[in-house]
Amino acid sequence: MPAKDRSPDPNRPSIALVGCSTLLGKEIKERLSAGRLFASRVQLFETGSREGALTDFAGEAAIALNVEPDSLEDVDLVILACPPADGDRVLSYARKAEALVIDLSGGSSSAAAPVVNWEVNKHQVADHHGLLRAAQSTSLMLSTVLHALESQVAVVSVEAVVFEPASSIGQDAMDELYRQAVNLFNFGSIPRDTFGRQIAFNLLPLTLAPALGGSERERSLARETLRVLGWEEGKLSLKMMLAPVFHCHAALIRFTPAGSIQPSMLLSTLGRMEPLSADSAGAEEGPGTPVEWAGEEKIRIVEIREDGRGALWMWALVDDLKAGAALNAVRIAEALFPPDRP
C-alpha cells in the first residue's frame, strides 16, 4: 500500500492546535489526523511546562512546542484546547488578519463571540469575524438534547442537574480521583490539589469547588446553553455536580411541556434523531449508566418519565470526549475549510 502524500498543499489551511496534550486536545488531534480535513501543516503547541514533549500526529512522530507570542503569525486556523487562563493569554497573541480561532478553552476573552453547537446553530459559523467559541461539553449536551426536544414539543421551562466526570476537567482530575480511591482503600492521605475536597465515593457541587470555577462556571455554562438555543434568561436552571466518574456526562433533566405528551412516544421519536440514541423500552434495555455508555459517539436518552405534576424527567448520557466538544470543533473546522475547497 503506497504511503500517504504529506506534501504541503497551498490550498489547504495551516493549523495550530494549542493544548495538544490535554484530554480534549488529544481527541481533537486524533480527529484531525483521521478526519476529512486535510491541512497543509499542523503545528502542535503546549501552554505549560511540557515544551519539547514528544508526541505524534497521523502516525508520525512530532514535537509539541510551547506557544509563544509570535507562534501563530502564519497560521490559518487556531484551535484552543487549553485551560481558560491559557486560552485568554493566547488570544492576545498576534495572528494573520484572515486567521480563524476556534476556542474550546472557555476563557473570558471569547465570551462575546458566537457560540456554536454544530447540531443546533451551525448558521452562526458565518458570523465568526475571526473568532468562534465552540460549545463546551455540558452546554453542548444540554443544547443538543433540548433543541431536539423542542422540535417535538413546546417547552415552558427546564431544570437540569449535570453530573460532570473527571475527564471534563482534565488529566490531573482523573489522576487525583484514582489516587483518592486507592488511598482510601489503603487508609492513606487524600490528595486534594485539583478538586480541593474528596471526590472519590462522593458527590461535590461545583459551587463548592472554587478552584474549578465554582458558581461562576456554573452560571457561564447556563448562559452558554441559552445562547446556543436562543432562549430567554430564566427558561433554564442548571446545577453542576462533580461526580466520581472518569468518563461520560450524565444529566437529570426536568422539563415542563406546554401540553400533554406521551413519554414512550417522545422517547421513541428522539431516539430516531441524530445524534441521539434511545430504546423504546427505556432503561429496561440497553446501556443506562455512564460506565455502560463511555466510548460511544451519540447522546443516549435513557428514559423519560412523568413526575405526576405535569412535568417530565429525562435521564441522558454522553461521552464528553468521543461525542463532545472535540467532535463539534472539528465539524466547525471542516465547514469553514471544506475538503473540496479550491
What value does the mean pLDDT of the chain take?
Answer: 88
- For residues 297-303, give the mean pLDDT: 93
Which tens digits make up the pLDDT trace of 55-107? 777 777 778 888 989 999 999 999 999 989 899 999 999 998 888 999 998 88
Domains of the chain: 14-111 (3.40.50.720), 139-318 (3.30.360.10)
pLDDT of 266:
94
Check: CB of residue 48 under 8 Å from CB of residue 81: no
Cα 176 to chain centroid distance, Å, stands at: 21
Return the C-alpha cell found at 143. 443544547
Closest CA to 23 of 178, 171, 195: 171
The yes-or-no verdict on residue 49 having pLDDT over 50 is: yes
Task: Provide the β-strand partners of residue 251.
Answer: 162, 316
Task: Provide the β-strand partners of residue 241.
Answer: 163, 205
pLDDT of 129:
85
Which tens digits make up the pLDDT trace of 137-155? 999 999 999 999 999 999 9
Which tens digits make up the pLDDT trace of 86-98? 999 999 999 988 8
Q: Can you say whether the dihedral through the CA atoms of 335, 339, 340, 342 is positive or negative?
A: positive
The proportion of the chain whose per-residue pLDDT surpasses 70, expressed as a percent, equals 91
